[in-house]
Structure 1
Amino acid sequence: SRTVLENVLIAMTTTSQAQTLGALLRTPKFYQTEAHKKQRAMGLLAMFDMTAVANELAGNLPYGQQRRLEIVRALATEPKILFLDEPAAGMNPQETQALTDLIQQVQTQFNITIILIEHDMNLVMAISQRIYVLEYGKVLASGTPSEIQQHPAVIKAYLGEDVSCPNESYKSPI
């Protein structure tokens, strides 16, 4: 198992012949590049409040911190788009709220597109600008969170509501 810092450094690794040759010969440029990568990795860990665990084994982290590390590792690759596939799976409400805050922080600080596949509607509604609802692999609806919350086909498909006689006092939880 590797440490948290090693995990982030590995994510930063790119391969080119020049880098490979520098690593083999241990040139000054190699050491300068390694120092820069370590500084950048520690900066990412600091952004996500993980510097205290930088030298811990990643496998020993609590579940919520492991998920944070996964996002830090992804960000270390400098993506233009970040795909998150059910990041809240298995999390308790406190961890999910922390994840929601983290994703909002990533959106703000890194200005990247995030594509989220998620079933936790509180998380989806809190962070999404545009939502696509799928049913059996086909787009059932798309729109803003408020449009999706009120979309009759979404309510019917996911809540089993009879949309032909809507109840005025009913508020959709999605």
Structure 2
Amino acid sequence: MDLAVVSTAGRAPLESYELHHLLDEPLYVAVPVGHPLAGHEGPVPPGRFADADRISGGPRPEGTHLDAAVRQGFSPRVAHVVGEWTAKQGYVAAGLGITLVPALAAASVRPDLALLGVLDEGAPARAAYAATLRGRSLTPAASAFLDAVREATAKIPA
């Protein structure tokens, strides 16, 4: 593999790779449409969900998109570890907890979920990169692909 598109919340172990920054994007909190905050206007501080059960891709919040909560001084409670994106949405719709949704995925969220902006005064919540092995020259095809990915991501509104 010459190149992979990856995302990180800032602490992922990516030292072996050269990272080519593509974009930064905000995160949303997904809640069921019946949630008391579902109609809330404006971003919500992570502490507002300090007692909520979380549906996450891993059991620990550190080094993930849950870092915003850690920066706010609390460790979110991961109640369900679910790797599949559509399954996370089902858990939220069933009222089993909340999950984070990156802005690029917001348009694909189920209609029985509401998205709330996250007020995070820290670093960008999610950064996307093209990752290549450090010290390895790109093939012409990989270089052309990286150029195409950069061009495509440059067209995405901030």
Bigger relative contact order, structure 1 or 2 (CA pairs below 8 A, ≥6 apart): 2
Give the TM bin, normalised by the shorter chain: under 0.3
Higher strand fraction (1 or 2): 2
Q: What TM-score, normalized to structure 1? A: 0.25
Q: What TM-score, normalized to structure 2? A: 0.27
